[in-house]
Amino acid sequence: MARLGVAVVGMGFVALVTAYLFFGWPVLLVGVPAFVAVALVVVAVLVSEAPRRRLEAHRATRFDPAAQVPGGLMSGFFEVAPPREATDRTA
C-alpha cells in the first residue's frame, strides 16, 4: 500500500512539474494546493491502514468458536429446557 501511495504522489509531482514547464507559474496557484491535498489523502490512508488490518484480523477470528468469549447480551435466553417426565395428567 505504501508503494502505491508513493507512486500516486510521484505521479502528481511529475504532473505538477510538467504543467509548470508548459504553462508557467500560474499553474502553481492551483497545482500546489491540489498536490498537497493528494499528499494528505495518501498520508491519511497510510495512517488508517494499521487499525484496518487489526480490525480485519479480529473479524477473521470472530466466528471461531475457540476464540469467542462465552456469554453475551442474550446468553441463556434461548436455552432449551430439559424435557419433563411424562405423568398420568399429561397425555
CA distances from 22 to 11, 18, 52, 72 (A): 16, 6, 41, 65
Longest dimension (CA), the chain: 101
Q: What is the pLDDT of residue 41?
A: 93
Please give the distance of CA 62 from its chain centroid, rounded to a whole number: 16
pLDDT tens string 33-81: 999 999 999 999 988 888 888 888 877 776 666 655 566 666 666 666 6
Burial 50-64 (b: 16+ CB within 10 A, else e): eeeeeeeeeeeeeee
How many other β-carbons are positioned within 10 Å of the β-carbon of residue 69?
Answer: 5
